Amino acid sequence: MSDLLWWVFASLAIGGGLGMVTRKNPIASLLFLVLTFFSLAALYVLLGAHFIAAIQVIVYAGAIMVLFLFVIMLLNLGHDYRPDVRGGAWIVAGFATAGLTGWLLTRVLTTEGAVVAQGGELEIAAAVREWNAVGAIALPLFRDYLVPFELTSVLLLVAIIGAVLLAKRRV
């Protein structure tokens, strides 16, 4: 049953990704991306990582993509179907993407990745039993990785200030 669901959602995720890249209409491609995010969340659930799944849906599918949708609709990009990448740039981008994907796949498919993946589900289940769904994420985040976490938020703050500076004509 789990295996079947895994195949369903994995193919949905890949199909959504392909659809997102190939659609010319920005709103259609955005909806495909939402499908991908949702399928990813379903895959997280199958892994037993409920909290990550919920956050994936709330933050990515629910908030960020809705904002994107809002911006696309507001700027009325619906009728501009010209490709953004011109000239030979897409060849370079294609090679870079293929290389990265290949490297990631070798990591996953070799023994090293497989070993990590095998214990993962049980480890997550144990952590959830002990700390419950939120605690299993929160404890490492706020204890072991506090500095990187805070640095990330500072980074985001910088990004927000930058965006405000760019958007406001007169500060």
Partner 1 sequence: MHDVGALSRTAFLIVSATMVVGVFTLIMVAVALFTLLERRLSAWIQDRLGPNRVGPQGILQPVADGLKNLLKEETYPAQASRIYFLLAPMLSITPALITFAVVPFAAPLPTPWGLVEMVIADLPIGILYILALTSLGVYGIVMAGWSSNNKYAFLGGLRASAQMVSYEVGLGLSLIPVFMLAGNVTLTQVVWTQQEELGLWLALPLGLAFFLFVISAFAETNRLPFDLAEAESELITGYHTEYSSMKFSMFFIAEYSNVLTASALMATLFLGGWDIPFWQGDDMRVVAPGVVQGALPAWWKTLLTLGVFAGKTVFFVFLFMWVRWTVPRFRYDQVMHLGWKVMLPTALAYITLVGTSMLVLDALDVPFGLRYGLFLTAVNLVAAIVFLWLLDRDRVIGGATYRRLPRTALRREPPLVTAGEGVVLPNDGT
Q: Between 20 and 49, how does the x/- string for binding to partner 1 read (CB under 8 A)?
A: -------xx--x--x---x--x--------
Distance separating alpha carbons of residues 17 and 30, to the nearest angstrom: 10
Minimum CB separation of residue 166 from partner 1 in Å reads: 19
- Alpha helices (H) in the chain, listed in sequence order: 2-22, 26-47, 50-55, 65-75, 89-109, 111-139, 146-167
Contact 94, 74 (CB under 8 A): no
Q: C-alpha distances in angstroms, 24 versus 16, 32, 78?
A: 14, 12, 9
Residue (73 or 93) nearer to partner 1, CB:
73
Instruction: Kindly determine how many residues on this chain lie close enough to bind partner 1 according to the rule CB under 8 A.
Output: 27
Residue (51 or 149) nearer to partner 1, CB:
51
Distance separating alpha carbons of residues 51 and 92, to the nearest angstrom: 37
Residue (68 or 149) nearer to partner 1, CB:
68
Q: Between 66 and 105, how does the x/- string for binding to partner 1 read (CB under 8 A)?
A: xx-xx--xx---x---------------------------
Q: C-alpha distances in angstroms, 52 versus 59, 93, 96?
A: 10, 30, 29
Q: Among 13, 33, 43, 53, which residue interacts with partner 1 (rule: CB under 8 A)?
A: 53
The contact set with partner 1 (CB under 8 A) reads 27-28, 31, 34, 38, 41, 50-51, 53-55, 57-58, 61-63, 66-67, 69-70, 73-74, 78, 128, 132-134
